[in-house]
């Protein structure tokens, strides 16, 4: 029995050490408190250190000691995991990602399957300027390249020569200018080349769908 609880306690300790290691050297684990996350990390490190010290000090103790350590620190580990996920504070609420993801953006993919990816895509990071010709259904790229997040590359057919477009809406401004008018696709002239600017918003049948505005 002593051996069973010793192994169980070591497993909980190993999990705490793993969480501490990943949060320190791999990616930031967020508790949703902004700068207050430092207190979450302090609690994580302190819990891990105390558990480690008590485990070493109890290595020759009976099953009761290891049982108590297992229950106490499994409870604390569960609380830490919940605070970093479902119970995050409002500064960075739970979005399905265990690690902190700056500028979380959902991109819907509709190829032979439907999928939604949560990726980092901060405003203007993937803003592209290009020239394209309207064929009545798609824009055929004539000059320039689209900036595509690395996570989306495998879902897009290359080379990218044809894209679908979606005009910017009234309350969404791409770039810094506030004077760019909204347009409708049925007002576009067939076989005319336009100077466009925009960002990818989803993927449809392996083609990027880009929300654009027309530049002069």
Query: What pLDDT shows up at residue 185?
Result: 84
The string of pLDDT tens digits covering residues 140-173 is 999 999 999 999 999 999 999 999 999 887 654 4
Higher pLDDT, 43 or 168: 43
Query: What pLDDT shows up at residue 215?
Result: 87
Query: Is residue 125 predicted with pLDDT exceeding 60?
Result: yes
CA 58 to chain centre: 41
Contact 74, 168 (CB under 8 A): no
The string of pLDDT tens digits covering residues 46-105 is 999 999 999 999 988 888 999 999 999 999 999 999 999 899 888 888 878 777 777 888
Element (H, E) at 97: none
Element (H, E) at 52: helix 37-57
What are the boundaries of each domain within the chain? 2-83, 104-215
Cα–Cα dist 155/193, whole Å: 27
Element (H, E) at 133: strand 128-134
Cα–Cα dist 90/88, whole Å: 7
Q: Which residues contact 173 (CB under 8 A, 6 or more apart)?
A: 180
């Amino acid at each position: 029995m002593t051996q069973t609880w010793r192994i169980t306690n070591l497993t909980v300790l190993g999990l705490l050490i793993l969480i501490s290691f990943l949060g320190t050297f791999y990616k930031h684990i967020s508790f949703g408190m902004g700068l207050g996350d430092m207190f979450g990390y302090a609690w994580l490190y302190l819990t891990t250190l105390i558990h480690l010290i008590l485990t070493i000090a109890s290595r020759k103790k009976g099953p009761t000691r290891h049982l108590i350590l297992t229950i106490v620190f499994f409870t604390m580990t569960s609380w830490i995991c919940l605070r970093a996920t479902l119970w995050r504070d409002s500064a960075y609420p739970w979005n399905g990602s265990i690690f902190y993801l700056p500028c979380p953006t959902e991109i819907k993919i509709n190829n032979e399957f439907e999928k939604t990816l949560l990726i980092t895509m901060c405003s203007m990071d993937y803003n592209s300027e290009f020239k394209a010709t309207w064929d009545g259904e798609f824009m055929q790229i004539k000059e320039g390249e689209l900036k595509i997040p690395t996570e989306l590359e495998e879902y897009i057919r290359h080379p990218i020569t044809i894209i679908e477009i979606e005009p910017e809406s009234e309350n969404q401004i791409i770039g810094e200018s506030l004077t760019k008018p909204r347009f409708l696709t049925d007002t576009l002239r067939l076989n005319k080349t336009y100077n466009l600017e925009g960002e990818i918003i989803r993927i449809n049948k392996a083609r990027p769908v880009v929300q654009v505005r027309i530049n002069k």
